[in-house]
Amino acid sequence: MAIFDQAIRRLSLSLSLSRRRSSLSFSTLSSNPLRVCVVGAGPAGFYTAEKMLKAHHGAEVDIIDRLPTPFGLVRSGVAPDHPETKIVMNQFSKAAQHERCSFFGNFTLGSSVSLSELRELYHVVVLAYGAESDRALGIPGEYLSGIHSAREFVWWYNGHPDGKNLSPDLKSTDTAVILGQGNVALDAARILLQSTSVLATTDIASHALEALEQSSIRKVYLVGRRGPAQAACTAKELREVLGIKDLYIHINEVDLHKSPEDEEVLKNNRIHRRVYELLSKAATSAPSHPSSSQRELHFVFFRKPDRFLDSGEGSGRVAGVHFEKTVLKGAFLSINGVVVTALSHLLYVAQHLNRTVGPGKQIAVGTGSYEYLDCGLVLKSIGYKSLPVDGLPFDHEKGVVPNIKGRVLAETSGDPTQLEKGLYVCGWLKRGPTGIIATNLYCAEETVASISEDVHQGEIAPTSTFPKPGRQGLLQLLDNRDVRAVPFSAWEKIDSEERRLGNLRSKPREKLTTYENLLKVATE
Amino acid sequence: MLRSRLSRIGVGIVKELSRGQCTALCRTSFIQRPYSACWRPQVELHLETKGFQGTIFQKHCQFSSTATSSDSANGSDPEDMISITFVGKDGEEKDIKVPVGMSMLEAAHENDIELEGKAWKIPPAPSFYHSDIFLCSSLILCFYVTAGACEGSLACSTCHVIVMDMEYFNKLEDPADEENDMLDLAFGLTETSRLGCQVIAKPELDGMRLAIPAATRNFAVDGYIPKPH
């Protein structure tokens, strides 16, 4: 490692020198630019950088990331069989190659450099580091082996360097249960059920492809607390999983019964309507029994996990899930003595789960009736969670940084007059872990508009009277600490090596999945 | 048309070379758009996208109207051009000529019309912005026009446009399931919304007006659909 470190140090130093030199020859670079640091090189970070470069022609933007590779979830979240969705990397690369923009990876906010240091170095710091943890169910048995978060599973098959060691056991069971019915859950189900000959032509990590080739999983249960009218997935992902060749789909037709509240939801919400229609079509067109060789996908509605059971031999391995059946209740019930208690309980549950409860929104409540499902693998796809760093106001209940239009509030109580000057958020850290890539575009626009307003109104110190060291200061600080930043040019080396390796296997890309290999190629 | 594109690319390359930066990535992505399908064999730089170039092209053929890319190869003939008006978020209008066979996404890019996002007004230059900086940056930014996050491969909704006249909307072929899947996630969806990459210029569309949707401030794409305009 030491040798890579040294090489990276040389590389980043020479890069900073050449940047300094080249900056002299361009009149477009102001000597005292507005120095901006964006933390997190995913969609939120790149859209923020792009919008900042456009809105502030004198701004210099540095995007930093804890990984040596940029693009965040576009690289490690988007499923390998969705190459079109990853085309947006071209647009992000253009931003990174912009003369007033830089990318530096391989060092972490909070350990290599503190937030207060970054705020000293830059006029503007935008935190866009997303959500790298998971919500927990808080039920017995949750930490048995064989139970993983969908995030970990996604990182594993996408070759995230922190996901390689997950090694889910796909060989000692034929049944997997996925808790949740959002797009991440559907992605996970598709990866487990798809023919490996299809996956072999994608940029799926080779360790994952090997494991899937030997997988004995034939049955996947996708379990949701609510019904088909409330499923959180979108039509594209659903259509894809329903369209897997030679897959038996099972949906209980009785679950498709629509209540008046459901009718209302479906009438007013195009996404839910189209998802419901697809499910209902799949339910009616499916054969009643699978053929012997067929893999199976079961949509299970109105069930919430109650506890996980182990195999009983002290193995610590999951052997099944105990579910409680649920019914849907509107959040606003007619008031009488008994119901009020139930209502306050419901609202408490809803708040606890970080769900907005509004008129017409229905939540699932247990009925006291239970059932059991055997399985040897469980993926919890119930939501991501952001993590705080030192010195950052953080709303632990909602899992976001308290903010108004991207401006970080000093206190979680939400007092709009107490702002952290020069500190902003964007993406999942700002609004919670929902939405698609393009959602970040609008999210970034809002944050950048706030920054522009603050610059214009003098809320951010004028750069001419209060210059900040910016990039040069950051690289110096990292160098003093023997931390090796990886620049975009090093990522381009990784990129072309991955493409070269992929070419040998007729894949678009063979991802390097360890820090060691990534850094080795980066410094070659 | 092609010549102008060529010269633009040429200028782009010269400009980027002079900045001492890698050109391959930017330029190839420019070239890979569906309308430019005939150029593709010359471009072998960008391996990753090669795998699904076919898909993009197929989708394009499948969804496009009667006109094909080859029809517009000699797009300089004025008879093969139609007039389209883009109406921006602030109500400003821009009339452009579009060769038959070209998608509205590409037509917008050819004319430096941004489809995605909301145009925030740049605040008046504070004292530390020098005017020469502004000018030079603007020139560079001409080449910075985005191509839709997925570059027309029907994997995003950033080229969402609203057909302003039902009469024209009805002249379009119905959106395929794949386009509807993406429209589900578009911001500010209306009854006459389409994806710009799937609306292909044909003679009947001459005079069509397209509005660029104003960005909604609501981020809850998982459930919330803004009311139709």
Q: What is the pLDDT of residues A481-500, one digit of tens each?
A: 999 999 999 999 999 999 99
Instruction: Give B 169-208 residues with CB within 8 A of chain A.
Output: 177-178, 180-182, 184-185, 187, 189
Return all residues near A302 (Cβ < 8 A) that are at least 6 apart: A224, A225, A226, A227, A255, A325, A326, A327, A328, A364
| pLDDT score at A393 | 95
Q: Is B216's CB within 8 Å of A438's CB?
A: no
Of residues B218 and A392, the one with the higher pLDDT is A392
Comparing A431-445, A484-498, B65-79, the range with the smallest average pLDDT is: B65-79
Q: What are the CB-based long-range contacts (under 8 Å, 24+) for A507-511?
A: A507/A200, A507/A201, A507/A202, A507/A203, A507/A204, A508/A83, A508/A202, A508/A203, A508/B47, A508/B48, A508/B49, A508/B50, A508/B51, A509/A203, A509/B47, A509/B48, A510/A203, A510/A206, A511/A158, A511/A159, A511/A203, A511/A205
Instruction: Give B 43-102 residues with CB within 8 A of chain A.
Output: 47-52, 55-56
Q: How far is Cα B55 from Cα B49, in angstroms, rounded to an integer? A: 10
pLDDT mean over A114-125: 97
Of residues B101 and A6, the one with the higher pLDDT is B101
- By Cβ distance, the residue of A236, A436, A456 closest to B126 is A456
Only one residue has tokens 């030997």, namely A214
Q: Is A28's CB within 8 Å of B215's CB?
A: no
What are the b/e assignments for A297-333, b being 16+ CB within 10 Å?
A: bbbbbbbbbbebbbeeeeeebbbbbbbbbbebbbbee
A435 has binding-site annotation? yes
pLDDT tier, B132 (very low <50, low <70, confident <90, very high otherwise): very low
Report all structural domains of chain B as residue ranges with CATH numbers, in order of start: 81-119+148-211 (3.10.20.30)
Shortest Cα–Cα distance, B79 to chain A (Å): 34
Is the pLDDT assigned to residue B78 strictly greater than 80?
no
Residues of B in contact with A97 (CB under 8 A): 21-22, 25-26
Q: How far is Cα B24 from Cα B30, in angstroms, rounded to an integer? A: 10
A437 has binding-site annotation? yes
Q: What is the pLDDT of residues B10-63, one digit of tens each?
A: 444 444 444 433 333 333 333 334 443 333 333 333 434 433 433 333 333 333
Q: How far is Cα A148 from Cα A379, in angstroms, rounded to an integer? A: 5
pLDDT mean over A270-293: 92
| pLDDT score at B29 | 37
- By Cβ distance, the residue of A27, A98, A435 closest to B132 is A27
| pLDDT score at A504 | 96
What are the b/e assignments for B164-198, b being 16+ CB within 10 Å?
A: beeebbeebeebeebbebbbbbbbbbbebbbbbbb
Residue A75 · residue A100 · CB < 8 Å: no
A314 has binding-site annotation? no
Is the pLDDT assigned to residue A336 strictly greater than 60?
no
pTM for the full predicted model: 0.80
**Which residue of A441, A451, A453, A464 to mutate against B (max B Cβ within 10 Å)?**
A441
For residue B51, count CB atoms less than 10 angstroms from its CB and return exposed for 0-12, middle for 13-18, buried for 19 or more. Answer: middle
Q: Is A252 helix (H, G, I), strand (E, B) or coil?
A: coil
Distances (CA, A) of A102 to A6, A161, A437, B19: 21, 23, 21, 14
Q: How far is Cα A310 from Cα A320, in angstroms, rounded to an integer? A: 7
Is the pLDDT assigned to residue B216 strictly greater than 50?
no
Is the pLDDT assigned to residue A342 strictly greater than 50?
no
Q: Is A404 helix (H, G, I), strand (E, B) or coil?
A: strand
Q: Is B156's CB within 8 Å of A449's CB?
A: no
Residue A524 · residue A111 · CB < 8 Å: no
User: If you measure CA to CA, which chain B residue comes closest to A438?
Assistant: B158
- What's the complex ipTM? 0.83
Of residues A293 and A502, the one with the higher pLDDT is A502
| pLDDT score at B125 | 34
A183 has binding-site annotation? yes
Single-letter code of the amino acid located at A415: D
Phi, psi of A88 (to 5 degrees): -60, -20
Q: What are the CB-based long-range contacts (under 8 Å, 24+) for B8-13?
A: B12/B143
Is the Cα torsion angle A444, A450, A454, A455 positive or negative in sign?
positive
Q: How far is Cα A234 from Cα A272, in angstroms, rounded to an integer? A: 8
* Among A48, A89, A47, A40, residue whose Cα is nearest residue A65: A40
Phi, psi of A20 (to 5 degrees): -65, -45
Q: Is A455's CB within 8 Å of B29's CB?
A: no
Q: How far is Cα A52 from Cα A49, in angstroms, rounded to an integer? A: 5
Please give the structure tokens belonging to residue A134.
């998971």
Please give the structure tokens belonging to residue A510.
């063979």
DSSP secondary structure letter of residue A257: P
User: If you measure CA to CA, which chain B residue comes closest to A506?
Assistant: B51
- By Cβ distance, the residue of B126, B150, B184 closest to A271 is B184
Report all structural domains of chain A as residue ranges with CATH numbers, in order of start: 34-132+385-484 (3.40.50.720), 136-382 (3.50.50.60)
CB contact B215 to A (< 8 Å): yes
A428 has binding-site annotation? yes
Residue A185 · residue A237 · CB < 8 Å: no
